[in-house]
Structure 1
Amino acid sequence: MARRGTALLASGLVAMIAIGGAGGYGVGWLTALDRSISATGKPMPLGQIDLLKTPAPPSTTPIPVDSRKPVPDTSKPLRAGALRYKTQTVTVRGTLKSEVSLKVPIGWVYTPQSDEDTARFNETTKRYLRFQAGFPRTRPPSASMAAKVHDLTNLEESQQVRFISQVDDGDVATLAYEWVPPESISKNPILRLVIVRWVADESGDVAVELGVTGLPQDAAALRAVIDHASESVVRRDIPLAPS
């Protein structure tokens, strides 16, 4: 088992995506996280273009905080002692192709993401574990955590971010916060607890970003999940083949 918080790097041929027994750097999310999809437009015929009109600027009206007042979720909390784990192995693609192995709670289902550098395992849509890899190693965990904090502080006030803790252990950095997702992610403004952890390899730079999301009452179980993941995570890379 890898030392707590240390991802191991090895070279070699990486297999196709595998889910099973053999096994952020980016500012992710949640992380996972959970990202918007860009829209594509159709070209307008030249006869319909009016060069004398200036298009109106996009609306920047903030969403009222009161409109996203958190709604209590009375789901029973996850119990850390009831969780059992098995090793899952998934290949993701960013600048590099990374095969990542880590321990995931049994029953949490692998869910492909639109971002090919990210993988996610869902217990439900409100509870999940994700990781991001496939990026170059360029900065230590503390710098990645600082970048994430900066991004969170610039979110709409309606998302009501509340920082709980920031811990820098050198080769591992961990951020915990509460957050109300925007309506594009969750129609109901249910308060979420998010724990993000950046794990360095022997280079001292981040090799894997991990994130676990759930409800505030799941705090103990979520910490157990991210501990199991970060203590077991292994990343192996090869460059992407030329296109």
Structure 2
Amino acid sequence: MLTPRHQALLMTLAGMTVGVAVFGTVLAINGNGDDDKRATDVVVTQTPSSPTPRGDGLQSDSLQFAAQTFGTDRSPVSAEVPTTWRANQDGERPRFQDPSGVWQIRFDTRGSSKAPDRQVSDRERSIKETQLNVLSRDNGTLVYTYVDGARGPRMGLSRWISADNGSSTAVEITVGGRPQDEAALRAVLERATSSLQLPDPNNRPN
């Protein structure tokens, strides 16, 4: 049987044990709170990555072409243009434009006594657009960029085609869009050039 002295000693030990357990629990709780705070800080201070803007432009493999006839009844001309580009001007100077108004192709079938190379030089001097930059002027084709006040950076490709070995010009073709559309614009210009059908001067109606 325990004496009163032994009982008092046991009670003291029990109290110390409970105190240590409670102190350990408090430390554990406080420690977890600090970890949670640090984790929250990491999440809050992270900077989300911004999506990279795509500047792929018009894709040439997305275009389909169909022949369009223009000019005059006495001198009809035809060429293939993108099927979704609609004519908003016809006759000898037709223009075909996509529904968004970003891309277009224009023809001038009136002809000129000037050779294609001369046409390139004259057009280069006549362009008054802001920040004009001529990229090339070879083989009767002028390629250039400029900045439009309303639409921003633009690109133009103008080609003059001769029907008499370069002595004069029969047709002008100009394609317009944005600099990032260059590959597709060149494809449109080449398709129009290769499919161009001019009237036979020997078979014109009287």
User: TM-score, length-normalised on structure 2?
Assistant: 0.64
Distance 2:57 2:86 in 1: 19
Q: Pick closer, same or farther for the CA change 1:225–1:150 going to 2, 3 Å.
A: same
Residue aligning to 2:9: none
Please say if 1:193 is aligned against 2:155.
Answer: yes
Deviations 1:91-142 (A, max 9, x none): 259xxx63110011111111116xx53101111322101100123x412110
Contact 1:98 1:134 in 2 (8 A): no
Equivalent in 172, 175, 183 of residue 209 of structure 1: 172
Task: State the AA in 2 paired with 1:198.
Answer: W
Residue aligning to 1:127: 103
- How far 1:84 moved relative to its partner? 1.4
Larger Rg: 2
Contact 2:70 2:92 in 1 (8 A): no
Size of the aligned set, in residue pairs, is 150
Stretches of structure 2 lacking an aligned partner (at least 5 in a row): 1-52
Q: Pick closer, same or farther for the CA change 1:75–1:160 going to 2, 3 Å.
A: same
Distance 1:112 1:143 in 2: 26
Task: State the AA in 2 paired with 1:223.
Answer: R
Q: How does 1:162-241 map to 2 (within 5 A)?
A: 162-168=133-139, 173-181=140-148, 188-202=150-164, 204=166, 205-236=168-199
Residue aligning to 1:18: none
CA RMSD of aligned residues (A): 2.7
Contact 1:92 1:134 in 2 (8 A): no
- How far 1:78 moved relative to its partner? 0.9
Q: How does 1:1-243 map to 2 (within 5 A)?
A: 77-92=57-72, 98-112=75-89, 117-123=92-98, 124-135=100-111, 137-152=112-127, 155=128, 159-168=130-139, 173-181=140-148, 188-202=150-164, 204=166, 205-236=168-199
User: TM-score, length-normalised on structure 1?
Assistant: 0.55
Distance 2:114 2:95 in 1: 23
- How far 1:232 moved relative to its partner? 1.2
Structure 1 or 2: larger helix share? 2
- SS of the aligned residue for 1:167 comes to coil
- SS of the aligned residue for 1:225 comes to helix
Contact 1:92 1:133 in 2 (8 A): no
Stretches of structure 1 lacking an aligned partner (at least 5 in a row): 1-72
Distance 2:66 2:124 in 1: 31
Identity %: 28
- How far 1:235 moved relative to its partner? 2.3
Deviations 1:40-78 (A, max 9, x none): xxxxxxxxxxxxxxxxxxxxxxxxxxxxxxxxx977611
Task: State the AA in 2 paired with 1:199.
Answer: I
Task: State the AA in 1 paired with 2:147.
Answer: V
Distance 1:222 1:232 in 2: 15
Q: Pick closer, same or farther for the CA change 1:74–1:160 going to 2, 3 Å.
A: farther
* Structure ranking higher on relative contact order (CA contacts 8 Å, 6+ apart): 1
- Displaced runs of 4+ in structure 1, greater than 3 A? 73-76
